[in-house]
Structure 1
Amino acid sequence: MQFDDQLRRYFGSADLDALTPDALVAGMERMRVDLGLEKDRGRRFALWSLLFLLGDAPDLDATFEDAADRDAARDFMELAEKGGQSS
């Protein structure tokens, strides 16, 4: 999954700053639906990660059955938080 491709698929644009609030909400809703339907672990993780970065990720326990996937998601959350901090 390419990041820009996913943005275009769900939001119609790779430029999130250009989206209206309604377009952002609609795209995140489509992502949550696809997350619920997706069976491939890697794709599920990618969808969840993008939702997390957008501030709309569902609960880890509800999203990932496998403990290793939950741990990877926690690691991702920690890295994302560290990446947003300035030194």
Structure 2
Amino acid sequence: MDMDNMLLRYFGTPDLAQVKVDAIPAAVDRMQVDLGLEKDRNKRFALWSLLHMLDAAPDLDVAFEDKADREAARNFMDLMASAGPQ
């Protein structure tokens, strides 16, 4: 899943700087529903990653059944943490 397409789908723009703050909760709700329904591992990971960046991701054991997916998510979390605040 392409990040620009995800941002466009959920926020109406590929530029998060253009998103109005009051639009974020509804977009997060839609992403969380889609995450629960999505069967494709790559799409689930992309959705979870965006939710993580918005501080709205479910716990790893809830989001991912597969141990390898949970480990990839932990690696992503570590990379994001090491990048520090932007």
Per the TM superposition, whether the score is higher than 0.5 is yes
Once the two structures are superposed, the pairs formed by residues 2-81 of structure 1 within 5 Å of their partners are 2-81=2-81
- Partner SS for 2:75: helix
Letter in 1 for 2:80: A
RMSD (Å) for aligned C-alpha atoms: 1.4
Structure 1 residues 85 and 19, CA gap change in structure 2 (3 angstroms) = closer
Report the Cα distance in structure 1 between the residues aligned to 2:68 and 2:74, rounded to whole angstroms. 10
TM-score when normalising by structure 1: 0.91
Aligned length: 86
Displacement of 1:18 in angstroms is 2.2
Report the Cα distance in structure 1 between the residues aligned to 2:73 and 2:84, rounded to whole angstroms. 17
TM-score when normalising by structure 2: 0.92
Gaps of 5+ in 1: none
Report the Cα distance in structure 2 between the residues aligned to 1:39 and 1:60, rounded to whole angstroms. 16
Report the Cα distance in structure 1 between the residues aligned to 2:14 and 2:25, rounded to whole angstroms. 15
* Runs of 4+ deviating beyond 4 Å: none
Higher alpha-carbon deviation: 12-21 or 67-76: 12-21
Structure 1 residues 85 and 27, CA gap change in structure 2 (3 angstroms) = closer
